Amino acid sequence: MSFTLDRSEEQLVVAIEGQLVVTNRQEFKQAILEAVEQGVRLVLLDCTHAAYIDSSGLGALVSLKRRLRELGGDLRLVALHEDLRSLFEMTRLDQLFPPYATLADASAASAAP
Amino acid sequence: MSAEQGTAVHAWVLPSSLEAIPAAVTQAVDACRAAGVDARHCGFHLPLALTEALSNAVRCGRAEQSHPELRVCVEITPAQVVLEVEDDGPGFDWEACARSPDAADWLERDGGRGLFLLRSYMDLVESVPPTAVTRHRVRMLLRRT
């Protein structure tokens, strides 16, 4: 998995390519936490080119979401393919991460549930 | 070997470390793909399940070995794919370890969803305890139809 970061003031777009799993979740989480420390409050995870996410990757997302919420921010998932959408529904994590179709939709949403 | 022609069996030994997981998963999935297993299984279900099983084996299956190794075996038939992961651990009580989405802390916890994912994506998952002559083994079966 590789990921690219595109920061604009308080918003960070993270585009992931490949899988978010036990072997790379720490690097992924650390990169986002550093941005949060620098003032980012809204993180949009672009999953257009994501493959799969294992339980460690899910845990990293839950942890990051919790941290951002504590700071009045949010983490939102964008462009989930069918299998990823099913993964979040099956694990019920869609309650924490309602999927957004586009980055614009996610950025414009007022508050996640 | 085409899966339509019979059974293909592949096995690999790898060090019990997280760093070794991606290459092992790639090898196993490539073998499935070469045997004609469909793209959705090869792109999502199988690599996700094998990653979970190997991750569990690295974290829980080291026993007292100074240089622990894992063994991955993939058996592909026209009807199913069987993935096996062997480790040096004592095995575990599936029912006691598996957490449920009905648990009160399910949405807030950082971990504990791995066994649930294994069971959700595979048609059969079992932990086979070690014996005097065999190691602990997690066996996962995915039907191809």
Nearest by CB: B47 against A23, A52, A56: A52
- For residue B109, what pLDDT is reported? 87
pLDDT of amino acid B123:
97
- pLDDT beyond 80 at B92: no
Average pLDDT of chain A to the nearest whole number: 95
Q: Do B21 and A23 touch (CB under 8 A)?
A: yes
On chain A, the residues whose CB falls within 8 A of the CB of B55 are 21-22, 54-56
ipTM: 0.91
Residues 6+ apart with CB under 8 A from A110: none
Alpha carbon of A79 to those of A47, A99, A104, A107, B72: distances in Å? 5, 7, 11, 13, 33
Residue B4 has pLDDT above 60, yes or no: no
What is the pTM assigned to this prediction? 0.92
- Mutation target for B interface from A53, A55, A75: give the one with most B CBs within 10 A: A55
pLDDT at B140: 97
> What is the model's pLDDT at position B66?
65
Q: Judge: B112–A90 Cβ closer than 8 Å, yes or no.
A: no
pLDDT tens digits along A2-55? 899 999 989 999 999 999 999 999 999 999 999 999 999 999 999 999 999 999
**Lowest-confidence range among A104-108, B22-26, B97-101?**
B97-101
Cα separation, B38 vs B43, whole angstroms = 9
pLDDT at B95: 75
Residue B3 reports pLDDT greater than 60: no
pLDDT at B96: 76
A65-71 CB contacts, 8 Å cutoff, 24+ apart = A65/A96, A65/A97, A66/B108, A67/A33, A67/A36, A68/A36, A68/A41, A68/A42, A68/A43, A71/A36, A71/A41
